[in-house]
Structure 1
Amino acid sequence: MASDAHFPPLSEIPESTSVKIDTSVPHSARVYDYWLGGKDNFEADRKVAEATRLASPGVVQGARDNRAFLGRAVRFLAEQGIRQFLDIGTGIPTQGNTHEVAQGAIPEAKVVYVDNDPIVMTHARALLRGTPEGKTSYIEADLRDPESILTHPNVLATLDFDEPIAIVIVGTLMFIKDEEDPFGIVKRYTDAVTPGSYLAISHVTADFEPEAVGASAKAYNTGPMAFTPRSGAEITRFFDGFELVEPGMVAVFDWQPDDDPTRATRIAGAYGAVGKKL
């Protein structure tokens, strides 16, 4: 598929696909969209995004590194022969979406996108089209409610849980509070897939740059949204029952990196890892 796909702003999507969106409340997907240079964000999102950027200028490059990690991880998974992907917390479409990378390598690959922001699903349904051989589905649901996702008719019609599935949760788990049991939530998903399946995660951490990440969290967490940086040891817990593939748990830009001499000068603010279920 073409890598220069054009994703118009919400105003250009046909009216029949529009949904009611509360523009006064920021959402993590739209803040991330702003950092990536997207158009589908509102004043409330931009205020949070700019406050965070001013507190920690590396956050914009961090968002780009996170997106690049997604592409490399999905490409790796496709190279392992994985043909099914459950992408939870997908975010607003941009270049290098999961189905584009997966179906570019395996045209018959099947992908389900999950997000709890109506604007994300509006874009997905209106714009994201897979290959004729494959299948791409979208559901509006919350990562915190595994049962609603794992039993959703669109998920069951798209994915075969008797065959390996790649669970992709990139840049999302830091928004799950400790009291919401993020480890138990992820375990529900990983318990549902067969051995030979994979889990790909990226997660904000303060292990590398505590001052920068602390400043970023302080600025970001002033509104209704909040994120929780976690240590490498904590993030490794998500991979219980999985074997990490090389190079293990590393800064997102160091995970099976493409040639990029600027990596050595970047601020590391997130871990990335991929594991195979034993």
Structure 2
Amino acid sequence: MKTYLLLLSLIFIQHNAQAQQEINFKTIDVIKSEDSNPNSLVSLKDKAYFFANSGKNYSDYYLWNLDKNSKKIEQSNFTVKGNYNKVSFIGNLDETIYYVDENSYDNKKLYLLSETNGEQNVLSNFTEFNILQKQPSFLIISYVQNKIHHIARLTSTGIEELINTNDDSLKNQVIDNHTIYFVSDLKVIKFDINTKIKEEIIIPAGSEFEQSYYTISQNLFNGNIYYTSLNKTTWQRKIIKFNIASEEFETLNLTASNINNFYSTTNFAVFTANNINYKIDKNNNIA
């Protein structure tokens, strides 16, 4: 046993030494200020961009860039400015940064920044912004604008509207590859992102799906979507399984309330309902 532990220790030490040689960390002083708190690092080509204050006024945050070769730090040519946690990066698409300006709650703004195209405000006056799906060259996003719920495609060149509703039905959506599924008016709506073709699947009687309770969700596992239904006569809730391939519904024999914390991996999914944790395996067994 001691020999086994010694071998494990030697392997760990050797691996750690190799990792240190490969990583070779370096520390760079960003801004000489006690109040400075750089955040939201995004890497593009030979520069890394981040928000930080100037060292003069804690509340004013600006966009800075670090040259990866010279290690020189400069305030960016872009005019981005805001308060801490009010302007933040979300990430990058190709060689374009996208971020949301939240300085005004009623007038959030979505920007694209690139050295080629400069600074573009592609969306304004929205709330409840969410990223639904990330692909290498685009994002599927959702937002609310003038009480209308939208789903759109964001690329490095701008934003493309896909579908919208004037109720809360899009809040409880699932994206499977290039298809969006959501419930509206006792139907499951199937919307193809590429062709923009919309189909309606009638929900069987007795399975009245609850539409407005949810925030953004992805209750998808093993080709099935899991919904909560609400019987408005008895006010009891059930969990319904919808099979994407067969487009069939199945009521599960579970003591259920709303589905919370749905998390899926390749081999299993877990979720919480009525203060009980459930696990689903690849054979669709629920425990």
- TM-score normalised by the chain length of structure 1: 0.25
Please identify which structure carries the higher helix content: 1
Q: TM-score, normalised by structure 2?
A: 0.24
The structure that has the greater radius of gyration is: 2
The structure where strand makes up a greater share of residues is 2
Higher relative contact order structure (alpha carbons within 8 Å, sequence separation ≥ 6): 1
